[in-house]
Amino acid sequence: MNSRTFLFFLVLLFTPSLFVAQSIQLANASFEGEHSDATMPQEWSACQKSSTPDILPGSWGVYLEPFEGNSYIGLITRDDGSYESIGQKLSTPIQGQECYRFSVELAHSNTYANYNLPIRLRIWGATSRCSKDQLLVDSPSVKHFDWKTYELEFVSEAEYPYIIIEAFYAKGVYFPYRGNILVDGISLIRTCPRA
């Protein structure tokens, strides 16, 4: 083996990350916690003042079984223009100019204590806690009452060490209203090839 070939194999040996998709694991990605209203799941922080999600099932008339684990979160929008969002610092930051792919389980409840209209989920990349610097993902309005897997993909514009999950009103609706979305089982966030 000549020296160039040996050097090439050394580079391959010590840089395996170049050839393996990078992944980011969210802490408590299935929102495990004691079932209770207005409660933060461990590892997550509230991003709207005086507004926290509900750890379900069992509160507010919502009894859908979890997709994964023992609990999930419910996020709401209100008719006063406020809405719920939560965030966390990532184990590894989202890198700039990179494609990422992940899945999340979403559902809707028509018995959520008069917060019963369909809404959508928005996910933000953030440079600081709750700063909402880039809208990474914007789901359609969720109208189904059972869990469905949403495969989502985004390209980041910059490095983001934080992620924010937010309830928001349906597209094309220009007035605030009472709605809900149920969220469970966020997968690993993996890099993907760009077209």
Kind and range of the H or E run holding 3: helix 3-14
The per-residue pLDDT for 48 is: 85
| Burial class, 136, CB count within 10 angstroms (exposed 0-12 / middle 13-18 / buried 19+) | buried
Q: Which amino acid is at 177?
A: Y
The per-residue pLDDT for 8 is: 46
The per-residue pLDDT for 2 is: 58
Burial call 96-133: b when 16+ CB within 10 Å, e when fewer: eeeebbbebbbbbbeebbebbbbbbbbbbbbeeebebb
Mean pLDDT per 10-residue segment, the chain (195 residues): 48 43 91 92 91 93 96 97 96 96 98 97 97 97 98 97 98 96 97 82
Measured at the alpha carbon of residue 160, what is the angle toward residues 157 and 162, in degrees to the nearest 5? 145
Report all structural domains of the chain as residue ranges with CATH numbers, in order of start.
21-191 (2.60.120.260)
Burial call 144-153: b when 16+ CB within 10 Å, e when fewer: eeebeeeebe
The per-residue pLDDT for 49 is: 81
| Burial class, 18, CB count within 10 angstroms (exposed 0-12 / middle 13-18 / buried 19+) | exposed
